[in-house]
């Protein structure tokens, strides 16, 4: 069983924001699947979709508490950290860049920080570049800002590669699907 987690914030005010790229990726994958089941258990603190041996999770705890949801699903389904993939935004990568990583620090990302505190940090990550504002004082507004139409167009191949990588996950994933943006 693989657990794929898309990080984001719930609520219409956060739809299509840079910080919600994980939710956007999960939605795209689910929309492309022919067959899935939606599992709604209050214990999971999120929306969970199942397709074969894949679980797709969108935590409903808000970003800063994502670990509560991930930990609950991990424990319920007894998923090992090596089979957990977290999709999240990355300010340090150019818009559309795509990188893969196993373990490591949270880099100040509050969603990762929460997950680390609940399950440790030895899980897989898909980092999607959202770029960075020139003025560092505007990071919060930038991250919580909505993507522009041209940015969404630039992200289309990135999101396609995310889906391909998830269903073709192995030790060569990074070399096959990484993008520079």
Provide the residue-wise pLDDT of the chain in tens; the chain has 181 residues.
Answer: 999 999 999 999 999 999 999 999 999 999 999 899 999 899 999 999 999 999 999 999 999 999 999 999 999 999 999 999 999 999 999 999 999 999 998 888 999 999 999 999 999 999 999 999 989 899 999 999 999 999 999 999 999 999 999 999 987 887 888 888 7
Fold category of 2-177 in CATH? Rossmann fold (3.40.50)
Q: Collapsing DSSP states into helix, strand and coil, what is residue 5?
A: strand
Spatial contact of 97 and 70, defined as CB atoms under 8 Å apart: no
Cα separation, 2 vs 86, whole angstroms: 11
Q: Coil, strand or helix: which one is 93?
A: coil
> Could you say which of 19, 106, 109, 118 is catalytic?
19
Instruction: State residue 143's pLDDT score.
Output: 93
Q: What pLDDT, on a 0 to 100 scale, did the predictor assign at position 108?
A: 82
| Gap between the Cα atoms of 18 and 130, Å rounded | 6
For the stretch 135-149, what's the b/e string if a residue is b when 16 or more beta carbons lie within 10 angstroms of its beta carbon?
eeeeeeebbeeebee
Taking the model in full, what pTM does it have? 0.95
Contact 21, 89 (CB under 8 A): yes
Q: Is 88 designated active site?
A: no
């Amino acid at each position: 069983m693989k657990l794929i987690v898309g990080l984001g914030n719930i609520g219409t005010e956060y739809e299509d924001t840079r910080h919600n790229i994980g939710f956007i990726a999960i939605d795209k994958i689910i929309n492309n699947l022919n067959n899935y089941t939606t599992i709604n258990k209050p214990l999971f603190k999120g929306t969970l979709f199942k397709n074969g041996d894949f679980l797709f999770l969108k935590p409903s705890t808000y970003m800063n508490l994502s670990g509560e949801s991930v930990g609950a699903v991990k424990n319920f389904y007894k998923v090992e950290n090596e089979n957990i993939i977290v999709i999240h935004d990355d300010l340090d990568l150019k818009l559309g860049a795509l990188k893969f990583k196993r373990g490591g620090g949270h880099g100040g990302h509050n969603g990762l920080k929460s997950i680390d505190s609940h399950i440790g940090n030895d899980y897989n990550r898909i980092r999607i570049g959202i770029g960075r504002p020139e003025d560092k004082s505007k990071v919060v507004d930038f991250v919580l800002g909505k993507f522009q139409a041209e940015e969404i167009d630039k992200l289309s191949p990135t999101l396609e590669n995310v889906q391909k990588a998830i269903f073709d996950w192995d030790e060569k994933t990074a070399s096959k699907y990484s993008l520079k943006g």
